[in-house]
A and B are shown apart, each in its own frame.
Chain A
């Protein structure tokens, strides 16, 4: 089987029922997506398939059609994505375990809705659990990131 992750194509030889999460983690050593519940209830494993947020713990590798992006493919410590920068600006993370999933969900949300209000943020982000209760700062960071991304878009359109 072949799978494209963060722009790199990998050959993997696993059971096709194996959830994408465990292919990423234990076969490809990609640590960003986390194991939280295994039943798509917590969102810690959130990655993108073709730019859309999915719960990688509940998608069998055999059913993945498209390019996978994990938080490692979103940005790096030296070159962070605007959403990651907003997370740092608002000092969102505490234990940090759920945050890669939170960030991947937020990026996907902002792609679909560049200016989400509180209600939309709450609805979409409620699929991601955070036991440290960082929700108020997540909400603030998403708004900051939205503003920043809209600015970038305007710049791109102008140029």
Chain B
């Protein structure tokens, strides 16, 4: 499928980033490596061979360019280095690198190009490669988009192999033998019966230039990659010793909280803190740029408590005051003069509709806003002292913190240090800068005192950047057991416009997230249009695990299911007839086998299937439910994914299970609503997620037929909602076209 209709109209995301970012780039500058950020900080007895490896007397430390938010990426990136460097797994130590352009994520924009992931044409690959230029020049050290594994797969192995070569070179010089006579084993260079530890060779190894394209091991000789390894962060996380930003403690630190305008984007007209100022532990109450206030106290609880006692006069936001009004705006966006994107235009839908006007079937689907609701509420520690700003934060975007720090404090970048901690969940929320900007602003007001700023859960829930609400409408004609013509229209807010706006940038061009995982699915439908419509800005929106695929997977796969039933064809068979992409077919086939699709089910049970290709990973999920007297019970989930190359099967399984539970939580009960201009839900009592009693048994199968290696943090999420909805239809005959499902049907 190498079809792309209107390339000239779609200013590419990639070029717009380059232009709006003000980057003048040339090939030379692109090729030139960034300086190794570890060198400036290296202690006398530490050797840094590449930006990813530090060796000192106690051993080897892998410096990871990406942040650990639960996805296991520290372990997988470390395994890439360890495999090539030849060190044993139990000896490895891992640290997150400093905020540095050297750790740019080359793959982060690849998925935004207007080419389907299944499109391996020259043009598609050329445009994908082109996206690496602005990401490098902007130095975007972003953890997200399921890109850490594909981005790191070469970089980290090359770092390991290059370090191994200079260690061998150092040993060869020391022993006065040829490097080719030497081998390595578990942290030693071996020459006959002599074993030289890496730690003793590291200082000498610095004298040799690491090769830029060392020979990498063949997959067949891997010892660590491809195996399930114990995670490097597991023991810390099971003993309470893992360091989240909430756990950072500095001498004389004070504790702050914020209360910002709940009419998101609105100003604060006035506030009265006279009562709060007299409360125990309170040290200072300050206005934050007329958008809200911060309370600084001797204990977080004192700050949280005092913030509740402050009264405010808030200005209103300029969007409709309730969800109903917002859906009306979304609905009217289908009448926009020009659509946001027309990425899929195949055949001639109109002619078929004109030929069979009586057979056109139409339906409308809706999904609500969703909060990220990470377990760890937003927080950060900032300390401005002696012309140096230190920031500790669980962040998916540490290089951006340098920029924000620069603009808030006026300090040059070299005086700003970012310490990236573990994240108590990210899911896209921690790509944002709001909580970090507040922390730095408060630290500036409290210069000389380290400040930890922690949001209450209520602040976190009501000041998120939400997964957009969205509406899909489709019209279709089926005949002869297949879809003859399908017209799918999707209206959603633009995540990119909202995100870029918060960075002070504009976003020209089409936002592929509006139609992500709808326009690019590997279904061969002869006459097929997918059109995206941009809803004007309402609540701030952001990346939410699997981004546009989170809603479009539901739209597309519910639609396919409806068409299958109308065509009188079994939904699995229907998909297998339409999906032509090889690895995707195999994923569907495997899901049918794993779930024993077609078997006789117990009474009141139903099986639903959904397939989504997102972030390059074909993913099929089959859900079995029971319709019981107490409501719908999810009995079992079967999932099949194709990641191209599976580096750590047990972790991949964990991510798929995690993604499914995240998707099921949203499908069953996730909903953010707005009333009187404010988000209504405030805590886990009214914005809950799946709990243990509802959590199904999930069986995961991993395939490796895809050409490229892929990341797996997100692809498990999109098919969960449609698979559940399709199962509910199979068991009850009720087709629910609006999320969350619990508005229409009860769950056990």
Contact = CB atoms under 8 A, between A and B. Distances in A.
Contact of B240 (A18, A32, A92): A32
A136 B238 contact: no
Nearest to B241: A77
B234 A91 contact: yes
A15 B244 CA distance: 27
A87 B238 contact: yes
Interface in A42-97: 42, 44, 70-72, 75-77, 80, 84, 87-88, 91-97
A16 to B, nearest CB: 11
A27 B299 contact: yes
Nearest to A39: B683
Nearest to B254: A26
Interface stretch (B35-43, B268-276, B346-354, B685-693): B685-693
Interface residues of B, number: 66
A18 B255 CA distance: 15
B309 interface: no
Given A129-B375, A131-B373, A25 B300 contact: yes
A31 B427 CA distance: 23
Contact of A39 (B235, B425, B650, B685): B685
A129 B698 contact: no
Contact of B658 (A35, A91, A94, A123): A94
Contact of B376 (A34, A91, A134, A136): A34
A22 B301 contact: yes
Contact of A132 (B230, B238, B247, B425): B425
A148 interface: no
Interface string B207-239: 000000000000000000000001101111111
B375 A44 contact: yes
Contact of A96 (B237, B246, B374, B660): B237
Interface string B402-426: 0000000000000000000011111
A36 B692 contact: no
B329 interface: no
Nearest to B240: A32
A87 B238 CA distance: 7
Contacts of A26: 255, 298-301
Contacts of B242: 96
Interface string B690-714: 1111010110000000000000000
Contacts of B230: 88, 91
B143 interface: no
A130 B658 CA distance: 10
A38 B459 CA distance: 12
B69 A19 contact: no
Contact of B689 (A15, A84, A131): A131
Contact of B239 (A22, A42, A75, A130): A75
A93 B684 contact: no
B654 interface: yes
B238 A36 contact: no
B320 interface: no
Nearest to A133: B661
Contact of B662 (A27, A100, A131): A131
A41 interface: yes
Interface residues of A, number: 60
A97 B425 contact: yes
B692 A91 contact: no
Contact of A95 (B299, B377, B422, B690): B422
A42 B684 contact: yes
A71 B281 contact: no
Contacts of A122: 692-693
Contacts of B457: 36-39
A109 B23 CA distance: 58
A37 B660 CA distance: 23
B375 A98 contact: yes
Contacts, number: 189
Contacts of A19: 301
Interface in B298-313: 298-302, 304
B454 interface: yes
Interface in B136-189: none
A123 B651 CA distance: 27
B295 interface: no
Interface in B273-307: 280-281, 298-302, 304
Contact of B695 (A15, A42, A135): A135
Nearest to A97: B424
Contacts of A75: 239
Contact of A138 (B301, B423, B456, B692): B692
Nearest to B685: A41
Interface string A97-130: 1111001000000000000000001110110111
A107 to B, nearest CB: 12
Contact of B246 (A15, A35, A98, A134): A35
Contact of B650 (A91, A97, A100, A125): A91
Interface in B449-488: 454, 456-457
A33 B241 CA distance: 11
Contacts of A126: 691-693
14 contacts: A18-B299, A22-B300, A26-B300, A29-B249, A31-B246, A31-B247, A31-B249, A36-B457, A41-B688, A75-B239, A88-B230, A95-B376, A126-B691, A130-B375
Q: Which 4 A-B pairs have the closest CB atoms?
A: A133-B661, A32-B240, A97-B424, A96-B237
Interface of A: 14-15, 18-19, 21-22, 25-27, 29, 31-39, 41-42, 44, 70-72, 75-77, 80, 84, 87-88, 91-100, 103, 121-123, 125-126, 128-139
Given A34-B244, A95-B424, 11 more contacts: A15-B302, A26-B301, A27-B299, A34-B376, A41-B688, A93-B231, A93-B233, A95-B374, A96-B424, A132-B658, A133-B665
